[in-house]
Structure 1
Amino acid sequence: MNWAALGSALARTLGLIVVTYAGALALGLLLAICRISPVPPLRAAGTAYVTIFRNVPLLVLLVLFTFGLPNVGLLVPLYYNAALAMALYWAAFVCEVVRSGVRTVPRGQIEAARALGLTVGQCLSQVVMPQALRSMVQPLANIFIGSALGTALAAAAGVTELTFWYQQQANLAGRPLTAFAVVTVIYVAITLTSGLIAGRIERRVAIHR
């Protein structure tokens, strides 16, 4: 069992999870702003993005980016290529969570904030988002867990993460069950830890209601 390679694969997986989720959060928030914008073209663009990316399998998207980008002259390292594809994919789901969270805030509060002279940005950051966050913690945690498990598909794009390491151990070392058990324990640990952290955050936010 190549433990040094396992450590490297784990580090790559954790890095991929962080980069993917951070990118999905940033883009998803921007898309949500577009979807709730009073400007029709922005709403249409946000709706089109979410509709397309939520209906394309992640594996198809990874393969498309891996083999499609070089054909148009964009040579991106496989690691960042996979991170970009997964961030674009999960951003569509983050967008819908944020939009649903915003809709839980009573419209009267938004109108009152606008009547007091707050700009759209101030209204979102100071009135809407602090309240919407309470209903968004668990759905966003579910997306994090989904994106963490989804990194296993990056092996299909040639990224040397945990699943790629498992394939190497199964093919070269001839110990597929041991390698599978190790990878399974790691993924379970990641998901359970994420769920526990999300639960604590949700309870802490709920105290301030």
Structure 2
Amino acid sequence: MLKLVSSIHPAVWKGSSLQETPRRFVSTGIDQLDQYLEGGWPEYGAVECCVPFFGFGELSLLLPALKNAQKKDHISLLVAAPGDLHPLCLHRAGLDLSKTVCIQSEKKMNLWALEQALKSGSCQAAVYWNQGLSFKQARRLQIAASENNCQLFLISLNDGSHSLPLPFRARLSPVDNKIRFEVFKRRGSPLPPVFIESSRLRNRLEQHHDLFINRYLAIKPNNVFRLR
């Protein structure tokens, strides 16, 4: 059997040979997480982060990717955030508000707007908070992101137990001032859980709730779109 496997044509990718497959990554901005992920986030395509609830620091973890996209003169897209985003705090976190677009609507419209943005070529990084995606919805978003060289982060309110056609899936959960991070699907073998802790992440987690404000006190930036 081993001889049969070893005789497979070299162009056929084997799940156990991650190191043999050249891949490109983008730094997460946290050394410990970069080391754990063996380089950082995939340069493009969909990354699903399964969470037990929204708002415990997941956006803070993704801020470096959003800022990196804006350096290339592309927009960062935030779709269906679980609360109104605070423009001033986003600016203080390093985001260029003129290149940050927020979309809030019903699920069908959110998915449509997100897919169109990915296909436009002007979006380099996007975050979509969701209650769960169907197989077809996940596949459409993955194709749109990968074919247009965009990083798409899906913050999904589930435990990751159902199968989705996504190349990278992880579980995130808060533990004190740390984030438990477990990659259970990727190109290669799964990774054991790790507890991410750094002074930079700790500062972000402490400031995370400032990114969201009560909707009645929100100062709306010009580039917040509520689709009907």
Q: Do both proteins adopt the same fold according to a TM-score greater than 0.5, normalized to the shorter chain?
A: no
TM-score band w.r.t. shorter chain: under 0.3
* Higher strand proportion: 2
Q: Scaled by the length of structure 1, what TM-score is found?
A: 0.26
Larger Rg: 1
Q: Scaled by the length of structure 2, what TM-score is found?
A: 0.25
* Higher helix proportion: 1
